[in-house]
Amino acid sequence: MAGEWSATTLAATYKEVYADDIRYLLGKRYVLLNNVKFAASQKPGKTYHEPVVLTRDGFFEYRSANSGTITYGNPVPADIEDAQLNSSQMFGRSRIDTEACARGASSKYAFRSSIGVSVESLWDTSNARIESDLWSGGIDIGVLDVVGSPANTASITLDSWAVGNFVGCEGTKIQILTTDLKTDRGAADSSKLVKITAVDIPNRKLTLATSTDEVTWTAGYPASTQSGDRVFYASQIVAGNPATVRTMTGLHSILGTTSGTILNISTTMSLWVASQVNVNGLLSLSTIADGIQQAYGKGLDEDISVICSPSAWTKLAIEWTALKRGDVSKKTNYSMGAGDMEISVLGINAKIEASPFCRSGKAVGIPYSYAKRIGASELTDQIPGRGGDYFSPVPGTNALEFQTYSNQALFVIPGKCINYYGITG
């Protein structure tokens, strides 16, 4: 037909409509950060020390009646050890140019103040990094599985996969080190930097690119990268023999250590090592109960939180539903609320919850009363010791730089905790 007014003809008369605000798609389920409190009253000047009693007095005299004069044996005193911890620093940095500041100076001209959006983004990313370190610090953020299929990609093993370590990380710079941490693949390949360009969450797959100047990026990964290599966020570690780890030691490392020392105390002390449960299959309510029984035998008498990956939690919820349907007595020890399950074992209540930062192959049991964050500074955007925002002009440019700062580490009594490992599916 001809002669009608069309949408194309009237295009200039139509208004564009915008949403009222910016929608943030990144989750903020920071289980450890929210539940393990920062001990502001225990800021150490250097090393944090906490004495712990790990054995009972070891000798008593026993005699039958009418034994006459008794010669005592030598007493065996209780063993008190000194747990020690040093915190690690983390600096977050972002920049914004003055034109962006001016154009978004108020919500009258933009969704939000430009500076406000930038600061909020950096603050949330800083919290995500701290949560990641509380879980995986001192180990890695993932172990490479299949490399180069398809080209320029590398997948993460199911056992080491924690979706929280990678979601929203397109553009994030990383390091890839050999299994023994002696060689940085990028540094060995013409000092190349590595970044993530795409994340395939269902398949645990990263698309990678490298650069020698951070200007020109080429799809691919450093030479010799292979299955078993370990992934870190950039600057978390310096390869060597031994490697220098710059992060705090995370919960997976503390609870998974069964030889050597943990926080300066030998693992030969049975009360200092976490209860170990080899699941060797799907995590179930019965294996969770097995771990609680172990910890109970070692003195646990507080309520405990059992934290697993989202995939493991979903399977537990299905199991719980089946148990609930089959409970004709209505006196079940299982209960379920919004987003969590609870079981009661030997009078200990265990809340089961999910964290996207918990590895798929692991779960942990932790009584929060035996954990705290120690250090010189909780996450802040203020200048430590002086106050005032961490804002400064960048010399020779029209940019403003703002920073976040954290100086902390995780302190936990591992003997009160449970390490579930070998979880599949």
The C-alpha atoms of residue 69 and residue 236 are separated, in whole angstroms, by 65
Cα 399 to the center of its chain, rounded Å: 32
Assess whether pLDDT exceeds 70 at residue 15: no
Assess whether pLDDT exceeds 50 at residue 326: no
**Residue 330: predicted pLDDT:** 41
> Which of 50, 51, 44, 126 lies closest to 93 in space, CA to CA?
126
Assess whether pLDDT exceeds 50 at residue 173: yes
What's the whole-number mean pLDDT along residues 107-116? 54
Element (H, E) at 135: helix 114-136
The C-alpha atoms of residue 4 and residue 12 are separated, in whole angstroms, by 16
**Residue 332: predicted pLDDT:** 42
Instruction: Tell me the two tokens of residue 354.
Output: 């999910």
The percentage of residues in the chain with a pLDDT greater than 70, rounded to a whole number, is: 85
More confident residue, 403 or 364: 364
Long-range contacts of residues 46-50, Cβ cutoff 8 Å, at least 24 apart: 46/86, 47/84, 47/85, 47/86, 48/84, 48/85, 48/86, 48/87, 48/374, 48/409, 48/411, 49/82, 49/83, 49/84, 50/82, 50/83, 50/85, 50/411
Q: Over the stretch 361-395, which tens digit does the pLDDT of each residue have?
A: 999 999 999 999 999 999 998 877 776 666 788 88
Average pLDDT, the chain: 87
**Residue 172: predicted pLDDT:** 96
The C-alpha atoms of residue 367 and residue 372 are separated, in whole angstroms, by 11
Provide the residue ranges of all domains of the chain, joining segments of one domain with +.
Answer: 140-246, 251-371+414-423
**Residue 219: predicted pLDDT:** 97
**Residue 196: predicted pLDDT:** 98
pTM, full prediction: 0.88
- Looking at CATH, the fold of the domain delimited by 251-371+414-423 is given as hypothetical protein PF0899 fold (3.30.2320)
Spatial neighbors of 22 by CB under 8 A, at least 6 apart, are 111, 112, 117
Cis peptide bond upstream of 150, omega within 30: yes
The C-alpha atoms of residue 142 and residue 186 are separated, in whole angstroms, by 17
Assess whether pLDDT exceeds 90 at residue 142: yes
